[in-house]
Amino acid sequence: MVFGRSERRRKHDAPDPVTLKILVAGGFGVGKTTLVGAVSEIKPLRTEERLTEAGRPVDDLVGVEGKRTTTVAMDFGRITLREDLVLYLFGTPGQDRFWFLWDELARGALGAVVLADTRRLADSFAAIDYFERRGIAFMVAVNCFDGADRYPAETVREALDLDAEVPVMLCDAREKDSVRDVLIAVVEHAMHLTTRQREPALP
């Protein structure tokens, strides 16, 4: 006996959904693991290890003194935005010493979310520079931590010296609906840029 779908069944099946790869990047302790976990419809794959005394000289804990673990490879999750559209989310490690993993994670990505913390905004520059240099569409999502000062999106844009076309949103990385809005925004932004790049140049 051969197991599988019959030819008649195949004719009525919906087409396989389009799968897109999105990166979630940003500085150390900005909330990348939390964001992926908040929205993933599967149990997220996490590669977290406890912070140790050996890491104190290189891991800046100012503003995130309560942090006890760190991602050492990646976070992975999945979310279905529509019946025909599934996102695979890859959270990058935040510390400089793990940046050798970024090139592998970025391969085949449609776009990226740079998660930012207004208390440590300078930590976002490295990720922004990475995606700008490689021509990967990205947006900035400001994670609104409890007790942190809130600034309008345009103020954050000016502080990060972003181009006008780069979307900037405020979000709560703990809230599924908030994260979903961010992911929809980065997909729309990346698709818009892809369409524009394919348009023939005017004579």
The single-letter DSSP state of residue 41 is S
Total of domains in the chain: 1
In a domain, 1, yes or no: no
Average pLDDT of the chain is 83
24 within a domain of the structure (yes/no)? yes
| Cα–Cα nearest to 118, from 158, 164, 177, 58 | 158
CB 44 within 8 A of CB 32: no
Residue numbers of the domain that contains 192: 17-198
Here the tokens at position 162 are 């972003």
Tens digit of each residue's pLDDT (9 = 90 or more) over 175-194: 999 999 999 999 999 999 99
Q: Residue 32: which pLDDT band, with cuts at 50, 70 and 90? A: very high
Q: What pLDDT does residue 54 have?
A: 42
The predicted model gives 82-103 an average pLDDT of 83
For residue 8, the model assigns a pLDDT of 47
CATH of the domain at 47: 3.40.50.300
pLDDT at 56 over 50: no
> Which tops the pLDDT comparison, 195 or 70?
195
Is residue 95 predicted with pLDDT exceeding 70? no
**Lowest-confidence pick of 4-18, 33-47, 131-145:** 4-18
Residue 101 counted as domain residue = yes
Q: How many CB atoms lie within 10 A of CB 139?
A: 23
